[in-house]
Structure 1
Amino acid sequence: MQQVLITAGASGIGRAMAEGFAASGADVWIVDADADALASCPSEWRRDCIDVTDEAAIAALFTRLANEWGGLDVLCANAGIAGPTALIEEQPLSGFRRCVSVNLDGAFLFTRAAAPLMKRAGKGAILYTSSTAGLYGYPNRAPYAAAKWAVNGLMKTAAMELGPFGIRANAICPGAVEGPRMEGVLQREAAAKGTTRDAIYRGYASGTSMRTFIQAEEIANMALFLASDAARHVSGQIIAVDGHTENPDPKV
């Protein structure tokens, strides 16, 4: 039975991952900053309300995790925020730093805490939720794109450092995922570009060869595969689940 820790696991992609791993028979432990969302999750899931940039809280979490579980098989470093939507010259430094902190610092802190547990076991899988924004430039989303490119670099380095200990690291790059978070992005981009939400939606869909958005469950399915023995020699890879993004700048 796998023991799986998922950040931002109470909603969206993280919730879909948690449901997928739980359905496969895994023990699931989720963390999230949203207490209300955590309260709505199945009672059998372990849970903690944590800001993923809180170093002390993460240290305390892993002390308890080590005591209760004894180890960790899979870390899904999934937490992230969209950050401000604006042209570079209009981006506030505070918003830029917060976006990078949640997306990158959170992934780093959880990787740093998980690595010793996985090293002792001589196995493990670390999965990072990146983005197609980490593959291309992303107009009006400089903080988010910068953070996701950095997450991919962190993953590549983790794969190199931890591979000799039987630990694999990979990054999943979702495209536009249906759900409340993407809805917020659509609304903000529409306001920034002076157009409608529906026009932005169509622009995103038409920017993929499959002309479609993605479902959170599809990201979860990739996570389950990458965490399984079927992917035992898949490491250091950036894998897009995005309907094949052709144009990262949706035209409206």
Structure 2
Amino acid sequence: MRRVLITAGASGIGRAMGEAFDAAGDDVWVTDVDEAALAACPARWTTRPVDVSDDAAMKAFFAEIAAAGGVDVVCANAGVAGPTALVEDVSWADWQACVDVTLGGAFLTAKYAAPLMKAAGAGAIVLTSSTAGVNGYPNRAPYAAAKWGVIGLMKTLAMELGPFGVRANAICPGAVEGPRMEGVMEREAEAKGMTRDEVFRGYASGTSMRCFVRAEDVAQMAVFLASDGAGRVSGQVISVDGHTENPDPKP
């Protein structure tokens, strides 16, 4: 049985990842800052309230993982949406808060997972980036920059850890159904003087499938990237967004 760690795993994409790895028969460990959501996770999961941007807390948590026998799969999934504003209106505090969790948390997760996986001579790291991390996105400078950084981190991990049998890949979800995306659309609508439905149509019309994706779609990609079937897949950026390179914008 593989031990799978998922950061920000108590809700949204992370929760869907936990359920997917659980269904595959894996031993699921989840961190999150939302203790109520952690309490609602299945009792068979190991859950810990850990802030991924806290170096000391992450070091202590990975010491616990090491004592339990190490980790086989790490999903560095934690991130925050950050502000919705033009770059000149983003405060330094809001920039730091977004980057510290979204990129800094991925760094700390990889930093403490890498020695365990190198010692084992195997492992898979799946980092959650975003389509904003390959295309950029107006009014979301901190988030887009952090998600681009996640991809740079992943590429470096793949090169550094590949000789030790450890793979690293990044998933780039598009717009994912759920409360978080609803909040993003509401803030974007306010910033642009649009309605929520107008913002939704803008997102959906930019995809070839004319829809948002589900958290479960992203989770299934994570399970594949951690599987033997992806045993020679590393250093890759894989979008899960129902999108083509140049979709026809007409319905």
- Aligned match of 1:135: 134
Q: Secondary structure at the match of 1:6?
A: strand
- Calculate percent identity across the aligned residue pairs: 68
The separation in 1 between residues aligned to 2:153 and 2:41, in whole angstroms, is 30
Judged with a 3 Å threshold, the aligned counterparts in structure 2 of structure 1 residues 202 and 245 are, in CA distance, closer, same or farther, namely farther
- Aligned match of 1:187: 186
- Aligned match of 1:39: 39
Structure 2: give runs of 5+ residues left out of the alignment. Answer: none
The separation in 1 between residues aligned to 2:118 and 2:173, in whole angstroms, is 28
Question: What's the offset of the Cα at 1:14?
Answer: 0.1
- Aligned match of 1:125: 124
RMSD: 1.3
The amino acid of 1:212's aligned partner reads C
CA contact under 8 A between 1:33 and 1:51: conserved in structure 2?
Answer: yes
CA contact under 8 A between 1:71 and 1:118: conserved in structure 2?
Answer: yes
The amino acid of 1:44's aligned partner reads R
Residue 10 (str. 1) matches residue 15 (str. 2):
no
Judged with a 3 Å threshold, the aligned counterparts in structure 2 of structure 1 residues 49 and 16 are, in CA distance, closer, same or farther, namely same
The separation in 2 between residues aligned to 1:57 and 1:91, in whole angstroms, is 28
The separation in 1 between residues aligned to 2:91 and 2:242, in whole angstroms, is 32
Structure 1: give runs of 5+ residues left out of the alignment. Answer: none
Question: What's the offset of the Cα at 1:176?
Answer: 0.2
CA contact under 8 A between 1:58 and 1:109: conserved in structure 2?
Answer: yes
Question: What's the offset of the Cα at 1:246?
Answer: 5.5
Range moving further from structure 2, 238-247 or 87-96: 238-247
- Relative to the length of structure 2, the TM-score reads 0.97
- Relative to the length of structure 1, the TM-score reads 0.96
The separation in 2 between residues aligned to 1:76 and 1:104, in whole angstroms, is 13
The amino acid of 1:196's aligned partner reads T
The separation in 2 between residues aligned to 1:149 and 1:55, in whole angstroms, is 22
Q: Secondary structure at the match of 1:126?
A: strand
Question: What's the offset of the Cα at 1:247?
Answer: 7.9
Residue 24 (str. 1) matches residue 11 (str. 2):
no
Judged with a 3 Å threshold, the aligned counterparts in structure 2 of structure 1 residues 56 and 247 are, in CA distance, closer, same or farther, namely farther
Question: What's the offset of the Cα at 1:29?
Answer: 0.2
- Aligned match of 1:174: 173
CA contact under 8 A between 1:175 and 1:245: conserved in structure 2?
Answer: no
